[in-house]
Amino acid sequence: MTAEQILETEFLGVRHRLLDLAASLDRAGRAEGAEALHADARWSSIKDALVVLTEDRTDRAERVQMLFSDPYRSDWRTPRS
Amino acid sequence: MYYIDPHIHMVSRITDDYARLARAGCVAVSEPAFWAGFDRGSADGFADYFRMLIDVERRRAADYQIQHFCWLCINAKEAENVTLAREVIARIPEYLDRPGVLGIGEIGLNKNTPNETTIFEEQVDLAAATNELILVHTPHLVDKYRGTRMILDILTGDSRIDPRRVLIDHVEEHTIRLALEAGFWVGITLYPTTKCTPDRAVDMIDIYGPDRVCVNSAGDWGPSNPMAVPDFIRRMRARGYDESAIRRIVYDNPIRFFEQSRRWDFTPPLPVEARDPQR
């Protein structure tokens, strides 16, 4: 499929998912305690992920996965004090 | 199209699901030992569970002309109890020669703790000592990347382990390349919310190709879709893959991996062209 064909096929689904996402963010923003969201690491990860989505690349999914992943330490066998 | 679901927990599904699978063309399932939703209290509890996998599910599947295979282990979540885990590991060899038992699985990590790592290594050791296939569970969500890398460190650091005899399951966009480049088989799990959609699975096949790739539903006692592999088949067709390419992922690849087990006694279904032309 060409890019045009993919856009044609998937536009409504993407629009739907974006609206659902926007609604979830609005819901959190209207709720009690919303002013504390900026201090929540999960909220920061969501905002970072949204930035990734706007970048003109083809590895967005992998990069979003990494934003929501704990880091790997090569010295994981060494007990931390 | 005939297909195999290489990772589905039928012990937690009703017979209606077997009927649906059969109608959709499923001819075999592979069922790893897993966490039942609670922590079992004794090694005898695991022994009873192993009997369900080996005997009961095999008979239940056969009623729907589906061939059932299973794996045995102590799962990553219950591995945190090292004492109980070692009791279970000591019991596993008595079941390894039973018909349909493909190997050790699904072993792995859950929260990437030292205890989980210890028990994972001990089960890898068991698999190496008994020359069994290994099916690996990689952690969920935030733990997946770190846990997958730890698992690969352990497996690639053991010269007895042939990566072609190990399937790294539940891979996603940030872990699939790591496992494939290290020579392992991979499973992409089609599971709502916490794992992949059929289209994301097709994306990964677009990028990495079909070699050593399987897909599965991991249907279990939670919200899950035992029909996920047929859904994946439809998406592959919609995205332009021909029948032979689809068959490779959902039928040939599982067979190619599983036939390395000496207890893989799969009888292929008759091909369509072999049917009696008078019927």
The per-residue b/e assignment along B120-133, b for 16 or more CB within 10 angstroms, e otherwise, is: bebbbebbbeeebb
Whether A68 and B203 lie within 8 Å, measured CB to CB: no
Q: Give yes or no for residue B249 having a pLDDT over 90.
A: yes
Residues of A in contact with B149 (CB under 8 A): 72
Q: Give yes or no for residue B276 having a pLDDT over 80.
A: no
Q: Within a domain: residue B25?
A: yes
Q: How far is B137 from chain A (nearest CA, A)?
A: 17
Instruction: Please answer whether residues B29 and B60 qualify as being in contact, where contact means their C-beta atoms are separated by less than 8 angstroms.
Output: no
Token pair 């899950």 is at which residue? B224
Instruction: Please answer whether residues B13 and B60 qualify as being in contact, where contact means their C-beta atoms are separated by less than 8 angstroms.
Output: no
Length of chain A: 81
Whether B142 and A69 lie within 8 Å, measured CB to CB: yes
pLDDT digit string, tens, across residues B50-82:
999 999 999 999 999 999 999 999 999 999 999
Structural domain span for residue B128: 3-264
| Total structural domains within chain B | 1
Q: Give yes or no for residue A81 having a pLDDT over 90.
A: no
Residue B82 sits in a domain whose CATH number is 3.20.20.140
Instruction: Please answer whether residues B32 and B71 qualify as being in contact, where contact means their C-beta atoms are separated by less than 8 angstroms.
Output: yes
Closest to B153 measured CA to CA, from B135, B165, B168: B168
Q: Within a domain: residue B273?
A: no
Q: Within a domain: residue B270?
A: no
Cβ-Cβ contacts under 8 Å for A62 (sequence gap 6 or more): B173, B174
Q: Within a domain: residue B163?
A: yes
Q: Within a domain: residue B272?
A: no
Give residue A80's pLDDT: 76
Q: What is the DSSP letter of B103?
A: E
Q: Within a domain: residue B277?
A: no
Q: Within a domain: residue B17?
A: yes
Instruction: Please answer whether residues B24 and B250 qualify as being in contact, where contact means their C-beta atoms are separated by less than 8 angstroms.
Output: no
| Residue B153, both tokens | 């460190």
* Selected residue of A2, A52, A72 to mutate for chain B interface (largest B Cβ count, 10 A): A72
Instruction: Please answer whether residues B162 and B184 qualify as being in contact, where contact means their C-beta atoms are separated by less than 8 angstroms.
Output: no
Cα–Cα distance for residue pair B20/B26, rounded to 1 Å: 9
pLDDT band at B271 (very low <50, low <70, confident <90, very high): low
Q: Within a domain: residue B176?
A: yes
Percent of chain B scoring above 70 in pLDDT: 96
pLDDT digit string, tens, across residues B183-202:
999 999 999 989 999 999 99
Cβ-based interface (< 8 Å): residues of B facing A: 112, 114, 141-146, 149-150, 153, 172-174, 200, 203, 239-240
Q: What's the whole-number mean pLDDT along residues B261-269?
A: 95
Locate the chain B residue with the closest alpha carbon to A63.
Answer: B174
pLDDT band at B277 (very low <50, low <70, confident <90, very high): very low
Whether A61 and B142 lie within 8 Å, measured CB to CB: no
